[in-house]
Amino acid sequence: MARAQANPGISWRELRPQPLILLTGSEDYLASRAFELLRSQAGQRDDIQHTRLDAAKYEPGELLMATSSSLFSTANLVEVHEVAHMNEYFLKDAMAYLKDQAPENVLIMHYSGGTRGKKLIDAIKAAGAVVVNCQPVKKDSEKIDFVQSEFKAAKRRITNDAVKALVAAVGNSLAELGSSCSQLIADTTGTIDQDTVDKYYGGRVEATAFKVADAAISGNAQLALRTLRHALGTGTDPIPIVATLAMKVRQIAKVAGVNEPAAALASELGMAPWQVQQAQQQARGWKRGDLALCVEEIANTDRMVKGGSRSPGYALEHAIMFIAGKAPGR
């Protein structure tokens, strides 16, 4: 019998003022968005006082003072950061507060994880806290969902290709991905397409690497070489380009000759459904023997660009020509 998975909590986007809120997870960007959202909502009231506390540098009595009513406010919004590194003073005062909460207050705490403070975290959950999921966003499918949600919240349209291009260009950092969404929303009008994303972020290493790889795999050696030479000429490191080339060829090798729906293959192969669909399209006509030769060529190129050659750029060009030459129809 399968074990039931623990509830990871609600999305920060669903968050509304509650007496007790616990942000769980080490993705600081999501936690910052949750704090920001609550501040914005609380700012609409004139009778609420805002206080920020650091659990690692906490002084005895600070929580009591922050959650007490005053002449200027009848409620309090209290943010507590660094709960994973709390000192004993905070642990003691927080446990006491849980036994005698003030329902008019909003107490929101961020716990990034670890073993320290588990007693308090369990007590917070037992006290009925709203738990908000701030776990790291690692899968491309999750990043795509994040981008789509950003534009939906802003009531703006973005095409699927543009979403994928944006994730490919700046998806290594969720904070940077969020900032890029904000920039596109602020700087553009109408529907955002792939050309718009390329205009803003097409020069990024990740975006360039995917363009080189896709062109080589499709047999368009001229486009791949032209894009590569421009990238190398502007100071781009060849190593991430080789890594992307290797990833794309491996993905094609995984789906070549496999007649199963993308959704079914995605979890099995550790890929997003759209990545499986793209790989399936690119795999048409490829022979397994040629893919195996390409994998060997890329492995050799990887050694060359990491110190095995005096001319990493030449080694990468040779690999691109080799792959483009093996592409179906060439």
- Reply yes or no on whether the pLDDT at 124 is more than 90: yes
- Reply yes or no on whether the pLDDT at 302 is more than 70: yes
- Reply yes or no on whether the pLDDT at 92 is more than 90: yes
Confidence of residue 191 (pLDDT cuts 50, 70, 90): very high
- Reply yes or no on whether the pLDDT at 211 is more than 70: yes
The tokens for 30 are: 């999501």
Determine contact, residues 157/151, Cβ cutoff 8 Å.
yes
Q: Which of 131, 112, 109 is nearest to 51 (CA)?
A: 109
Question: What pLDDT sits at residue 330?
Answer: 62
d(CA 304, CA 3): 47
From the CB of residue 183, how many other CB atoms can be counted at a distance below 10 Å?
12
d(CA 78, CA 101): 13
Task: Give the DSSP per-residue string, 216-234.
Answer: HHTT-HHHHHHHHHHHHHT
Looking at every residue in the chain, the average pLDDT score rounds to 88
Q: pLDDT exceeding 70 applies to what percent of the chain? A: 95
The tokens for 313 are: 């750029």
Q: How far is CA 133 from CA 11, 128, 129, 217, in A?
A: 6, 15, 13, 39
d(CA 170, CA 197): 11
Give tens-digit pLDDT for 143-161: 999 999 999 999 999 999 8
Q: Which of 238, 243, 241, 236 is nearest to 309 (CA)?
A: 238
Confidence of residue 111 (pLDDT cuts 50, 70, 90): very high
Mean pLDDT for 179-203 is 88
Strand ranges of the sheet holding 130-133, from the earlier edge strand across to the other edge = 48-54, 75-81, 106-111, 20-24, 130-133
Q: Which of 35, 138, 135, 134 is nearest to 78 (CA)?
A: 35
d(CA 32, CA 39): 10
Coil vs helix vs strand at 66: helix
Residue with tokens 């990043």: 143
Q: How far is CA 167 from CA 144, 161, 320, in A?
A: 7, 10, 24
d(CA 288, CA 294): 10
Task: Provide the whole-model pTM.
Answer: 0.67
Task: Give the DSSP per-residue string, 158-207.
Answer: B-HHHHHHHHHHHTT-HHHHHHHHHHHHHH--S-B-HHHHHHHHTTSHHH
- Reply yes or no on whether the pLDDT at 262 is more than 50: yes
d(CA 241, CA 320): 11
- Residue type for 66, please? A
Give tens-digit pLDDT for 33-70: 999 999 888 877 777 888 999 999 999 999 999 999 87
Mean pLDDT for 203-221 is 82
Confidence of residue 192 (pLDDT cuts 50, 70, 90): very high
- Reply yes or no on whether the pLDDT at 4 is more than 50: no
The tokens for 76 are: 């309090």
d(CA 239, CA 246): 11
Question: What pLDDT sits at residue 71?
Answer: 65
- Reply yes or no on whether the pLDDT at 251 is more than 80: yes
From the CB of residue 260, how many other CB atoms can be counted at a distance below 10 Å?
12
Give tens-digit pLDDT for 276-301: 888 888 998 999 999 999 999 999 99
